[in-house]
Chains A and B, each alone.
Chain A
Amino acid sequence: MRYFLRFSLLVCCSLLVACSTPGMLQRMSQSFHDLSTKVAAATDHMPAFLFDRPAPGIPDPGDAPVVRPPRRVPFIDPAIEEMKKAIALAEARAKEPPPANWVEMFKRLPKDDEDNIDWMAALTDKIITPSGQYDPEVADVGKTEDFDVELSTSGKPKRMVVFSHESHTKWLTCTNCHPVIFKKEAGTAKITMDAIDEGKYCGVCHDKVAMAQPSGCKGCHKVKAKKS
């Protein structure tokens, strides 16, 4: 704006000068000088907005762009905002991987002779690869052990059970069973079938979430198969 005013003033003056006689020019320059000194004196007392210059006491901003607040507060419709949020949510959901098809998964899992899921087979066949940590960034705390324990409460060798730590620690870690269900010293638990049926010792998990294979007695009492 200021440049434009200066430019137009320059054009007017040059036109005046070009179209005037030398005597007139002299008088005009005299009167212009008088006028300019008068205007300079007058503007100090006149309202600043009449001229494109800052009020006295305020620094001249120069040609920097003038930042003005918006003339009216922009209207935000809460309904539209809510709709936008809902759309964003739906779009985010659409990008997510499809949910696991559990019916299909159930069909894929191997079944045992009683049509329950054979978890050990699923694990050894690598149909499932369960993790010991729900948080993938935390290290797995599970410990494994592979020694067998011969359990014989009654003392009869035919009823003996060989407990395999190896197959159990594929799922569990030490603290799941020790020391609450079983004390760590071997032979301290008096495991009977009645106690198991009541849900003690092995019965905490077995026949509830875990099925020994093959089903029935032979799942655990399989000493016959052992030759020694």
Chain B
Amino acid sequence: MKLLTCLVALGMQMASASCALAESVVGDITFERKSKGADEFAPAVFPHWVHRVKYKCYACHNKQVNFAMKADTAAITMDLIDQGKFCGTCHKGKPAFGVSFETCIKCHRK
């Protein structure tokens, strides 16, 4: 019974996690997949507006996180994210969701 409730909770969370906006918003950045190409796996989309709701520009556009003000200048790889660079500064479980097989589709979507 306990296990069942846990699974139900997990299922609900996954269902709510995948309800991202269908239309694109001004400022959304679709990262070009330079390492493996876009056919194999959907490229990551960065929704600027989601981040602007919680953070000011300079929370990420600074020397520590090292996002320049120009798009496509940061060479982001999943390895670097795992090391806590770029997106991995926040996306490590806290304050934002971490990288796992459940959360691939949150960024890598078409």
Contacts and interface: CB of A to CB of B under 8 A. Distances in A.
B58 A173 contact: yes
Contacts of A134: 55, 59-60, 65, 89-90, 95
A14 interface: no
Interface of B: 2-3, 5-7, 9-10, 13, 16-17, 19-21, 25-27, 47-50, 52-63, 65, 69-71, 89-90, 95, 97
A93 B93 CA distance: 11
Contacts of A186: none
Contact of B56 (A94, A102, A142, A209): A142
Interface string A114-156: 0011010000000010111111100001100000000000000
A90 B54 contact: no
A64 interface: no
A217 B65 CA distance: 34
A15 interface: no
Contacts of A136: 95
Closest 6 CB pairs of A and B: A90-B6, A209-B27, A94-B9, A173-B58, A132-B56, A130-B56
Given A87-B3, A99-B13, A105-B53, A204 B70 contact: yes
Contacts of B2: 87
B13 A211 contact: no
A176 B69 CA distance: 7
A180 B69 CA distance: 9
Contact of B48 (A87, A106, A173, A209): A209
Interface of A: 87, 90-91, 93-94, 98-99, 101-103, 105-106, 109, 116-117, 119, 128, 130-136, 141-142, 170-173, 175-177, 180-181, 199, 204-205, 208-211
Contacts of A102: 19-21, 47, 50
Q: Which of A136, A171, A181 has the most CB of B within 10 A?
A: A171
A177 B5 CA distance: 51
Contact residues of A: prevailing secondary structure: loop
A98 B16 contact: yes
B20 A208 contact: no
Contacts of A199: 70
A119 B52 contact: yes
9 contacts: A87-B3, A91-B6, A94-B10, A116-B26, A128-B54, A134-B95, A172-B61, A173-B58, A209-B48
A171 to B, nearest CB: 5
Contacts of A209: 26-27, 48, 52
Nearest to B70: A204
Contact of B25 (A91, A94, A106, A180): A106
B9 A93 contact: yes
A132 to B, nearest CB: 5
B109 to A, nearest CB: 13
Contacts of A119: 52
A100 to B, nearest CB: 8
B48 A101 contact: no
Contacts of B20: 102
B58 A142 contact: yes
A142 B7 CA distance: 43
